[in-house]
């Protein structure tokens, strides 16, 4: 199966929910998801002060593209701050994070299976 087909709709119709890891300061708005692979298109939000250290460095088996819409966050492993207007494309298995955001951040992410 693939992600479902949608015509334009207001993304505000989709509620933010707490991400895996159960940190209430880190939420996502899932716009589209493939139920078989779990890959998704989403908007990720870190509220001011959010820190994902509890979940550690992330690696996943899918491609991930991330565009920072607003704010900034710090990759705690790299010791680097990334800000609005910056983009990342991560292949499967690439380590990244954990993250902390002092002022909050909003990203747009597209995930798709390896081999796509």
Q: Structure tokens of 2?
A: 């693939």
How far apart are the two ends of the chain, measured CA to CA in Å?
14
pLDDT digits (tens, 9 = 90+) for 27-55: 999 999 988 887 899 999 999 999 999 99
* pLDDT recorded at residue 37: 82
pTM over 0.85: yes
Residue 31 neighbours by CB under 8 Å, 6+ apart: 6, 11, 14, 40, 41, 42, 43
Band of residue 1 on the pLDDT scale cut at 50, 70, 90: low
Q: Which long-range contacts (CB under 8 A, 24 or more apart) does 93-96 make?
A: 93/59, 93/60, 93/61, 94/59, 95/57, 95/58, 95/59, 96/57, 96/58, 96/59
* pLDDT recorded at residue 112: 87
Q: What's the mean pLDDT when you consider all of the chain?
A: 93
Contact 44, 111 (CB under 8 A): no
Q: Which domains does the chain have, with CATH numbers?
A: 25-113 (2.60.120.10)
Q: Which percentage of the chain shows pLDDT scores above 70?
A: 98
- What DSSP string runs through 57-81? SB--SEEEEEEEEEEEEEETTTTEE
């Amino acid at each position: 199966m693939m992600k479902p087909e949608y015509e334009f709709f207001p993304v505000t119709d989709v509620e933010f929910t707490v991400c895996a890891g159960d940190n209430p300061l880190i939420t996502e708005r899932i716009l589209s998801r493939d139920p078989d692979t779990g890959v998704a298109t989403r908007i990720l939000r870190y509220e001011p002060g959010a820190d994902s250290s509890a979940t550690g460095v992330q690696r996943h088996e899918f491609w991930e593209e991330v565009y920072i819409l607003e704010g900034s966050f710090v990759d705690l492993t790299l010791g680097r701050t990334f800000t609005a207007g910056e983009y990342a494309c991560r292949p499967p298995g690439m380590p990244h994070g954990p993250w902390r955001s002092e002022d909050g951040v909003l990203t747009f992410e597209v995930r798709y299976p390896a081999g796509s």
